[in-house]
């Protein structure tokens, strides 16, 4: 392979942009190009001035916001003091991923494209705008755009004479080699390595804190359709509840802490033990066997979340997201690895541009998991070389939850309000959320339970001025961050707090009812509630024409038409 000439940088929130970037890397290697694929915030952005060819793949989150792993890059690239000739030697292309149902559709990609032009970069072709709302998904825009892109790139970097494009059916070398031990080494991962129970540095994804689960209590009524849990963690010794070294605590705060109302906690879930066993059986793996991971290319590093050495059980239970809905690239690689003619033909069909509607019907719409797909293609699954596991299945991503408590009210404790995700598709087995189902299954009353977590700033901020009133609207579990805010503001003596809360039934899913009532009686909170199923509706043409009554402070009601 020639020295790397193509750089692919991605900003990804849910993993889609990273998957597209990995696809770009594979297609570059098939065209005999060296290629590096990195998250934007892991790349030293000052080195861009030396890059001849860069492809940016970026998603748009929220209301036109950049993903978390490109926010540092985003702040840097829009510095006003950057010269207009900063990137004059760089050819670039921008691929965006967004949802046209949002007002700021692909805002990040569009704005980045314009900014790179302002800094002197040369665009190889117009920005690509992938749309989740298209019936074939983002690939409807990406496929033709990539065809034009590779024509432009090969015009700049022709393939060596006598060599052509590596055909799609030929598997590329895996990123890593798994070197198995004949006998289990003494230091093999039987526990969550990398996580810690004592403070050394602020907890992070690479070094989460193992927090002890204190309580795991259902807070919806027994007849309610949804299982909602109030879960409390003990974060003593985590450093989370210590003052930040960069931001000293305000004198008015009764207790110094490094997270505030509106912040979120991130939790790394695990696959169910039954799914781990089923996966290992389908692929013929011994879960107790241990291995060392070796990169095949010099510019590729081992995943920092995986210990060395590592057991197959740890890899499958705590790293590989076997419960995720696989993307098109999953089927492309399976087709390359399949020795079974009928299964290979079907996999090629599902991974082809013409087969995207069938792939959506088979996989995306019913939310079929990677594990279920492997069970549907047993001959292919049994023939997968272990070296390709990390190429085939993405890592488990952390799940974010709004923090529902304040350290000013509950020192050394952190609470979340979590709805257990479960729904039915046309598949026989109900679809379950990986993290919520895992957390719901943990019972601290049966023995010690530890959960890897860390915190980060959230999107909600509250005024620091003590005399500023705050109106909060949080229906259902959306009230969680406002419960933290109310606790924090009450502890600081701020009484101008107005909360609008709505749910289905007062006696089934009115979260923290007693707590709100007690604060009302103390004059610290004004509460307005609405219960949509607690009164009769007039029905015309099959629809309800009267909404829920809104219960006003003092016992009054306002009828909503």
3 state SS of 488:
helix
Task: Decide yes or no: CATH 2.60.40.10 for domain 470-531.
Answer: no
- Between 496 and 559, the more confident residue is 496
Determine the average pLDDT of the residues in 442-449: 94
Model pLDDT, residue 524: 93
For 209-242+258-268+398-456, CATH gives 2.40.30.10
pTM, entire model: 0.85
Q: Please check whether residue 32 is in contact with residue 42, taking contact to mean a CB–CB distance below 8 angstroms.
A: no
Query: Six-digit token pair at 36?
Result: 């590096």
Query: Six-digit token pair at 145?
Result: 């755009």
Query: Which residue(s) pair with 558 in the sheet?
Result: 550
Q: Is the confidence at residue 458, as pLDDT, over 90?
A: no
Q: List the domain boundaries for the chain.
A: 6-156, 209-242+258-268+398-456, 273-392, 470-531
The DSSP code for 335 is H
Determine the average pLDDT of the residues in 64-88: 91
Cα separation, 245 vs 65, in Å, equals: 28
Specify binding-site residues: 12-17, 59-62, 97-106, 132, 367, 399-402, 433-436, 477, 532-533
| 213-227 pLDDT per residue, tens | 999 999 999 989 999
Query: Six-digit token pair at 168?
Result: 């799609």
Determine the average pLDDT of the residues in 79-91: 91
Mean pLDDT score of the chain: 87
Q: Is the confidence at residue 292, as pLDDT, over 70?
A: yes
Model pLDDT, residue 302: 86
Determine the average pLDDT of the residues in 309-336: 94
CATH for the 273-392 domain, from 1.10.510.10, 1.20.1510.10, 1.20.990.10, 3.30.470.30? 1.20.990.10
**Domains 6-156 and 273-392 equal at CATH topology level:** no
DSSP 261-299: TT-EEEE-----HHHHHHHHHHHT--TT-EEEEEESSTT
Cα separation, 107 vs 542, in Å, equals: 39
Q: Please check whether residue 57 is in contact with residue 11, taking contact to mean a CB–CB distance below 8 angstroms.
A: yes
Determine the average pLDDT of the residues in 7-32: 91
Specify binding-site residues for FAD: 367, 399-402, 433-436
Query: Six-digit token pair at 495?
Result: 């009484």
| 515-529 pLDDT per residue, tens | 999 999 999 999 999
Q: Is the confidence at residue 91, as pLDDT, over 70?
A: yes
Specify binding-site residues for FMN: 12-17, 59-62, 97-106, 132
For 6-156, CATH gives 3.40.50.360
- Between 473 and 133, the more confident residue is 473
Length of the chain: 561
- Between 229 and 161, the more confident residue is 229
Model pLDDT, residue 257: 43
3 state SS of 213:
strand
Specify binding-site residues for NADP(+): 477, 532-533
Query: Six-digit token pair at 421?
Result: 């995700």
Please tell me the least confidently modeled range out of 120-129, 377-386, 460-469.
460-469
Q: Please check whether residue 192 is in contact with residue 453, taking contact to mean a CB–CB distance below 8 angstroms.
A: no
Q: Is the confidence at residue 168, as pLDDT, over 60?
A: yes
Q: Is the confidence at residue 559, as pLDDT, over 70?
A: no
Cα separation, 184 vs 512, in Å, equals: 50
CA 63 to chain centre: 17
Determine the average pLDDT of the residues in 438-455: 95
Q: Please check whether residue 460 is in contact with residue 479, taking contact to mean a CB–CB distance below 8 angstroms.
A: no
28-37, 182-191, 363-372: range with highest mean pLDDT: 363-372
């Amino acid at each position: 392979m020639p020295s790397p000439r193509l750089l692919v940088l991605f900003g990804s929130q849910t993993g889609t942009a990273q998957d597209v970037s990995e696809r770009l890397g594979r297609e570059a290697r098939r065209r005999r190009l060296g290629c590096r694929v990195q998250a934007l915030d892991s790349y030293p952005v000052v080195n861009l001035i030396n890059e001849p060819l860069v492809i940016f793949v970026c998603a748009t989150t929220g209301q036109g916001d950049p993903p978390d792993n490109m926010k540092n890059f985003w702040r840097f690239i829009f510095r006003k003091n950057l010269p207009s000739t900063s990137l004059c030697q760089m050819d670039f292309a921008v691929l965006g991923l967004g949802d046209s149902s949002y007002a700021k559709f692909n805002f990040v990609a569009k704005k980045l494209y314009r900014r790179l032009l302002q800094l002197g970069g040369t665009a190889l072709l117009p920005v690509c705008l992938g749309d989740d709302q298209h019936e074939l998904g983002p690939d409807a825009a990406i496929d033709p755009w990539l065809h034009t892109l590779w024509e432009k790139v090969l015009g700049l970097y022709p393939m060596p004479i006598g060599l052509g494009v590596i055909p799609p059916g030929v598997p590329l070398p895996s990123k890593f080699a798994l070197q198995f031990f004949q006998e289990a080494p003494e230091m093999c991962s039987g526990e969550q390595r990398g996580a810690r129970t004592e403070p050394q540095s602020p907890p992070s994804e690479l070094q989460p804190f193992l927090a002890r689960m204190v309580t795991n209590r259902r807070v919806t009524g027994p007849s309610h359709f949804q299982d909602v849990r109030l879960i409390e963690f003990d974060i003593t010794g985590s450093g989370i509840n210590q003052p930040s070294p960069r931001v000293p605590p305000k004198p008015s705060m009764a207790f110094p802490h490094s997270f505030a109302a509106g912040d979120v906690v991130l939790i790394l879930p695990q696959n169910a033990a039954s799914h781990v066993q089923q996966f290992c059986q389908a692929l013929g793996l011994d879960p107790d066997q241990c291995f060392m991971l070796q990169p095949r290319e010099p510019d590729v590093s081992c995943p920092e979340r995986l210990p060395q050495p590592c057991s197959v059980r740890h890899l499958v239970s705590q790293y590989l997201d076997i419960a995720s809905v696989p993307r098109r690239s999953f089927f492309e690689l399976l087709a390359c690895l399949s020795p079974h003619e009928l299964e290979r033909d079907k996999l090629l069909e599902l991974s082809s541009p013409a087969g995207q509607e069938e792939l959506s019907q088979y996989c995306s719409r019913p939310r079929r998991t990677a594990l279920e797909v492997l069970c549907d293609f047993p001959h292919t699954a049994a023939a997968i070389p272990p070296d390709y596991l990390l190429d085939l299945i993405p890592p488990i991503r952390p799940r974010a939850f709004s923090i529902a408590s304040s350290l000013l009210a509950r020192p050394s404790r952190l609470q979340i309000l979590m709805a257990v995700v479960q729904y039915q598709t046309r598949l026989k087995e109900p679809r379950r959320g990986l993290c919520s189902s895992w957390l719901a299954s943990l019972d601290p009353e049966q023995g010690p339970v530890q959960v890897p977590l860390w915190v980060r700033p959230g999107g909600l901020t509250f005024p620091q001025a003590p005399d500023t009133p705050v109106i909060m609207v949080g229906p259902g579990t959306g009230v969680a961050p406002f419960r933290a805010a109310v606790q924090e503001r009450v502890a600081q003596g701020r009484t101008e707090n107005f909360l609008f809360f709505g749910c289905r039934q007062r006696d089934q899913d009115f979260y923290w009812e007693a707590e709100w009532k007690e604060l009302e009686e103390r004059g610290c909170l004004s509460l307005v509630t609405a219960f949509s199923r607690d009164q009769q509706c007039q029905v015309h043409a099959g629809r309800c024409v009267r909404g829920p009554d809104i219960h006003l402070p003092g016992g009054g009601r306002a009828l909503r038409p």
